[in-house]
Amino acid sequence: MRRFPLIITLLLTVSLAYYIYTPLPDALQEQWKLMLLDASFRTITYTAALMQWFGFGHYIPSTRKYVEALEITDPEFLPGVIVSDETFSGVPVRVYEASGGEGGLKRGLLYFHGGGWAYGSAKKGASDKISRIWSDELNAVVVSVEYRLYPEVQFPVPYLDCLTAAKYFLSAEVLSKYSIDPERVAVSGDSAGGNLAAAVAQEISQDSRMKVKFSAQALIYPAVQALDFNTPSFLQNQNMPVLSRFFMVQFWMQYLEADLSLMGQFLSNNHSSLQQPLLTPKLRARFDWTTLLSPEQQKDYRPVVADEGLEGILEKVPGLLDVRASPLLAELEVLSKCPKAYIMTCEFDVLRDDGLMYARRLQEAGVTVTSVHYQDGFHGCFSLVFRPLDFDVGKRALRDYINWLQDNL
């Protein structure tokens, strides 16, 4: 009987190790830290889903509460930065103002956080701290937008919130109020926020009514298309922490109001089959990774193009072809008007090829692009720079991003 507690302890230890352990590529550093982070996210998601099954509300708001409870928000972090919560034409934003610096006019940076259009906040944890760092080091006014999220809203509401905030921010009155140089204003975002930043940059750049436009865009592993979920990076990294292929497709389907029971069809690219008359050869060329990626980036993967499947899906889910949701589908004429770009991608990220393809299309349109790729990077690393969830690649990525803005804004 004395052995029984020992056996139970051993079994629990083995089970926990099995749950946490995920085989990872050798190029990834600090692997156990990443495994623990991924296991924590999975536990939170599973718990929230179980609560939904028992009738305690939608799993996403529950997940948000759990994640927010774990985030450490320090209002005293970099006290020299003045922080205020405002509304820009009805859209909640958090404004960070550098109190010191070189004096005179400041840089302006409009930021959209990531989180699959369902999670995240400008006011919590790492997002808040990073905005303070940007404001302090760049002598900038940073505006982080609290756009509305799924399941409360779906496309195009988050995009419209961000566009509304952008137009308000770029008005002469607001730039003057915050002493911002109208020649030095950038738009930026990570992941789903990178999607929103790219789409907003396109719209602002071609709006003749806007007297002030963005002079730069900085996109961190952006999601820019929802028609091919079998790119080399989607397949290579389909089970990679902290964003799997399944969850990224689910985020897209939720955002665009697609029927989640069709998940298998979307994973098989049946939603972009040759049977879709709205997907003309001209449109297909805009997300054809066999021409937009180099042979080294394509590796040994082959395109997945279904002959038939999901007839009429593009009419039922029009967001799939809407450039406001999929900026990669924009015409060259639209892209040519966009501001110079900084695009960060990570080798071990399902969205790697999205960023690389968008960089290529911008370059083909004549836009100056700085493409920065991290061979040891993974999705989400850009925000993981504070203890205990600090990763060396994240620190390097944040530093490179700041250095680029210092030189180009």
Which two three-digit tokens encode residue 374?
A: 């991290």
Catalytic residues: 191, 349, 379
What's the rounded Cα separation, in Å, for the pair 329 and 354? 11
Spell out the residues 6+ positions from residue 210 whose beta carbon is closer than 8 angstroms to its own: 167, 170, 204
Q: Which residue has the tokens 């994973």?
A: 267
Scored b (16 or more CB within 10 A) or e, 292-330 reads: bbeeebbeebeebebeebbeebbeebebbbbbbbbbbbb
Could you say which DSSP state residue 82 is in? E
Which two three-digit tokens encode residue 352?
A: 């790697």
What's the rounded Cα separation, in Å, for the pair 224 and 325? 7
The string of DSSP letters for 159-222 reads HHHHHHHHHHHTSHHHHHHTTEEEEEEEEEEETHHHHHHHHHHHHHHT-TT-SS--SEEEEES-
188 pairs with which residues across the strands?
111, 218
How do strand 216-220 and strand 340-348 relate by DSSP bridges? parallel
Q: Strand locations in 265-398, DSSP E?
A: 340-348, 369-378, 385-386, 389-390
